[in-house]
Structure 1
Amino acid sequence: MNRPVIVMPDAVAVVTSYLRGALKAHGRPVPVVSRIPTPRPLAFVRVQRIGGTQQTPVSDRPRLDIHCWAASESAAHDLAALARALLGDIPGVRDGVTVYRVTEVGGPMWLPDDQTSAARFAFAVEIHMRGRTLDTPSTD
């Protein structure tokens, strides 16, 4: 008997899509990206997977760094605080992916950009997500 093949979701894609829409809905329509854009906008959020583990045979628990840049220290703080609060509401079905829970593993910290000295705050989360069954070809 063949076991089903479970494929874990792209957590960065799920979270960037969710945050982009949630920030816009809360009056902060900033770019939410996985890589630093060129040219660099004054304010943006970068989501980066930095590890994590498979939680169960059918779910993943990726660890994500969330970095928030803005024009000033207080503006970067406020953007990070909003992104942090919005991620608390991510459980549910997002872009077809079931998100069970989010756990903060590193609270917001001041982290000026080492390349440009731009204002930046960062925090880290783990997000528990369900994988999907990969359709396997028949062996007829």
Structure 2
Amino acid sequence: MTRPVVVMPDAVAVVTGYLRAALKAHGKPVPVVSRIPSPRPPSFVQVQRIGGTQQTVVSDRPRLDIHCWGESESAAHDLAALSRALLGDISGVRDGVTVYRVAEVGGPMWLPDDQTSAPRFAFAVEIHMRGHAL
């Protein structure tokens, strides 16, 4: 018997959509994007997939970098802290995708933008989510 073909979800799309809505609901309606916008807003969150592995036959465990820019070091820190806390609550069905859990693999770190020196904090997570059969 052949097993079904399983397509894994776009983790960046799931997380950007979730964070955009969650940040807005918590009074921080900032852009949450996969690529740095042009023109660059003073405050935003970037989500990038930097790897990860297939967890099971039907689930994926992508590793994501979350970069948070702010108008000041403390604003960037606060945006990263809020984003980190909100991601800790992502389990459930998000945009039709089952998210089992998230694990932090790199805590927040000060990482000023190397092009502009703009204030930025970054952290990394692995997020376990279910694919869907074709």
Structure 1-normalised TM-score? Answer: 0.95
**Larger Rg over CA atoms:** 1
Instruction: Map 1:1-140 onto structure 2 (within 5 A).
Output: 1-134=1-134
Large movers: runs of 4+ above 2 Å: none
Show structure 2 runs of 5+ residues with no match.
Answer: none
Q: What SS does structure 2 have at the residue aligned with 1:117? A: coil
Q: What SS does structure 1 have at the residue aligned with 2:38? A: coil
Q: What SS does structure 2 have at the residue aligned with 1:112? A: coil
Deviations 1:34-71 (A, max 9, x none): 00000000000000000000000000000000000010
1-structure distance, mates of 2:73, 2:40? 17
2-structure distance, mates of 1:69, 1:36? 10
- In the TM superposition, what is the alpha-carbon distance from 1:2 to its structure 2 partner? 3.2
2-structure distance, mates of 1:54, 1:3? 16
2-structure distance, mates of 1:124, 1:84? 9
Tell me the number of residue pairs that the alignment of Structure 1 and Structure 2 aligns. 134
Structure 2-normalised TM-score? Answer: 0.99
* Aligned amino acid, residue 12 of structure 1: V
* Aligned amino acid, residue 80 of structure 2: A
* Aligned amino acid, residue 97 of structure 2: V
2-structure distance, mates of 1:70, 1:132? 37
2-structure distance, mates of 1:90, 1:39? 29
1-structure distance, mates of 2:15, 2:9? 11
- In the TM superposition, what is the alpha-carbon distance from 1:3 to its structure 2 partner? 1.9
2-structure distance, mates of 1:44, 1:11? 18
